[in-house]
Amino acid sequence: MALLAALCCGCAANPAPDEAAAQLPPPGSSAPPSDAAPSSSAPPDPAAVGANELGQVPILMYHRLVERPSSVYDRTPAAFRAELERLAAEGYVPVTTAEYATGKIDLPAGAHPVVLTFDDGDATQFALGPDGAPVPGTAIAILLDVAARHPGFRPVASLYVNAGPFGSPDGAALRWLRDHGFEIGNHTRDHTNLASADERGVQEAIAAGQREIQRAVPDYRVSTLALPFGAIPSNGALALRGGSDGTSYEYACVLMVGAGPAPSPFAADFDPTTTPRIRSQDPTGEDARYGSAVWLDQLAAAPAQRYTSDGVPDRISYPASAGLTPAPHFTDRAVAY
């Protein structure tokens, strides 16, 4: 992981963006996904759909969408659209980081959760046009377009912002995101390297980022953090909870940068202080083995490794043969088959 921490986050090369904030859609507020499984009055049979709710979840990481990528963190709009189309075709349904980390993964039987995350508040991710709608060609506009053509594919994502995101200093962009069910996450106000800050500095950086978001969206509850540069503070617990200057924070999950799929939030190995992500990337090139194309291939080839929903929100189904262990506080809901 040290290698990945060192090479990760094109954030370093990108200017820090503007402000932030969004709110989780209320549970059940999204249209029920319809691609993945037929509805039925009887609870779906976990074995029939290969349910594995202790399996792994890809949390994909994006930075800029540009026609001419200048770093491994850039993607072209066409590559981004193709990746979303692939996810939809393979039965993935987006959930936000907060939904993932709190186990609010209410998907049809057979569907797989995926988390789409965007760092740095770049205007190629999202911007509002004069008509008040997302600018065509931005990542969010593309996501909305793909979701419109795949009704089960929820148009949700988690956007991790610094001060002044999306070229929208009045906060209108953040309010739009909040109003449309997207999650606004903290990426610190100034894109601070938390590994080189002292304990007071870690909390100041995180609290300041949260204040920036809440300045634009006052009632918004920020619930997850993405570490700038993937750099973990020496006291990792301070990334999850702390406070400074009258602002306290407590997060459900802290995202790193590399370098593989994340554990199920119901699994014994889920650690909210160091949750891994996967950089969106073609199957070839620099460190492609850590990238999304390679990992999505691997998850497709190993169904027992991947999180597959059983279609019943309160039941955590998993194959007894998979050698997986539920976290102690979920054992009463976990059912091996």
Per CB under 5 A, 122 contacts Zn ion: no
Per CB under 5 A, 202 contacts Zn ion: no
Residues in 10-39 that interact with Zn ion by CB under 5 A:
11
Q: How far apart are CA 105 and CA 183, in angstroms?
A: 15
* Interface characters, 219-258, with Zn ion (x: CB under 5 A): ---------x------------------------------
> Quick one: DSSP state of residue 149?
H
Residues in 130-159 that interact with Zn ion by CB under 5 A:
none
User: Closest approach of Cβ 116 to Zn ion, in Å?
Assistant: 15
Per CB under 5 A, 120 contacts Zn ion: yes
Per CB under 5 A, 74 contacts Zn ion: no
Residue 228 vs 319, nearer CB to Zn ion: 228
Select the residue interacting with Zn ion from 18, 119, 212, 310 (CB under 5 A): 119
C-alpha separations of 252 from 64, 239, 271 in Å: 26, 10, 10
Q: Angle at which helices 77-89 and 292-301 pack, to 10 degrees? A: 10
CB 262 within 8 A of CB 269: no
Cβ neighbours of residue 167 closer than 8 Å, sequence gap 6 or more: 17, 18, 123, 127, 173
Residue 226 vs 267, nearer CB to Zn ion: 226
User: Closest approach of Cβ 84 to Zn ion, in Å?
Assistant: 21
Residue 40 vs 71, nearer CB to Zn ion: 71
User: Closest approach of Cβ 121 to Zn ion, in Å?
Assistant: 9
User: Other CB atoms closer than 10 Å to residue 320's CB: what's the count?
Assistant: 9
Q: Give the pairing of strands 247-250 and 241-244.
A: antiparallel
Give the interface with Zn ion as residue ranges (CB under 5 A). Answer: 11, 119-120, 228
